[in-house]
A and B are shown apart, each in its own frame.
Chain A
Amino acid sequence: IAGITQAPTSQILAAGRRMTLRCTQDMRHNAMYWYRQDLGLGLRLIHYSNTAGTTGKGEVPDGYSVSRANTDDFPLTLASAVPSQTSVYFCASSLGDTQYFGPGTRLTVL
């Protein structure tokens, strides 16, 4: 069982470009989440989804969009990347109150 996979592992992106970070889980968890982690800080919630077909905004949603077409996939899109979106991005899914995290995507926007 893979759990949660994220792609790409890392990416360098020019400012203004569009980028989609992929997240897939094979645990059939209903809820999924996207976080960002900046250097030396804890994780901050960007968007979440309680179940397929629904999404919600977290603490820092501006500049990001998500979709949840099915249970397994929860992509995060940066429509026009800016340098302040340089961060490590973690996807998570949850069964009840416990979340399980993916390995992360390191994104650098120049």
Chain B
Amino acid sequence: DAKTTQPNSMESNEEEPVHLPCNHSTISGTDYIHWYRQLPSQGPEYVIHGLTSNVNNRMASLAIAEDRKSSTLILHRATLRDAAVYYCILSRPSSGTYKYIFGTGTRLKVLA
């Protein structure tokens, strides 16, 4: 199964940009790169996803390396509400659906 590697934890100052890295060297051509975040005592929340090109939405930006073996989630201005565990996930089509393989994620701490 496709696996991702992320740092266990990161810190950022409030209102500064945050770059959360993810390595996925075993990615295959049909795997999507998804990012979710999980706030305490809540279910994972979708942040962004992409296949090959960089993506932007109202929450974040996703930068995907040209060889697709790594990606970076960019939060442009971190707020205290962005403190969460961020998961980088590869989703692979399998048996008519897309299987997610979760790693242990990166715990982001935002300092006021």
Please judge, given known A-B contacts A42-B104, A48-B97, A94-B97, whether A102 and B43 are in contact too, CB under 8 Å.
Answer: yes
Which single member of A40, A41, A44, A100 contacts B46 (CB below 8 Å)?
Answer: A100
Number of residues of chain A lying within 8 A (CB) of chain B: 26
The proximity string for B residues 28-53 relative to A, scoring 1 for CB distances below 8 Å and 0 otherwise, is 00001010100001111110010000
Q: Assess the A42–B105 pair: CB atoms within 8 A.
A: yes
Query: In the complex, are the beta carbons of A42 and B96 less than 8 A apart?
Result: no
B7 touches A (CB below 8 Å): no
Total interface residues on B, CB under 8 Å, equals 23
Interface check A97, CB cutoff 8 A: yes
With A101-B44, A103-B42, A103-B43 as known contacts, state yes or no: A45 contacts B97, CB within 8 Å.
Answer: no
- Least Cβ–Cβ distance between A31 and chain B, in angstroms: 5
Q: Is the CB of B46 within 8 A of A98?
A: yes
Contacts of B103 in A (CB 8 A): 42
13 CB < 8 A contacts A-B: A4-B43, A42-B102, A42-B103, A42-B105, A45-B100, A96-B98, A97-B93, A98-B46, A99-B91, A99-B98, A100-B46, A101-B44, A104-B42
A-B pairs with lowest CB-CB distance, top 4: A42-B102, A101-B43, A50-B96, A97-B98
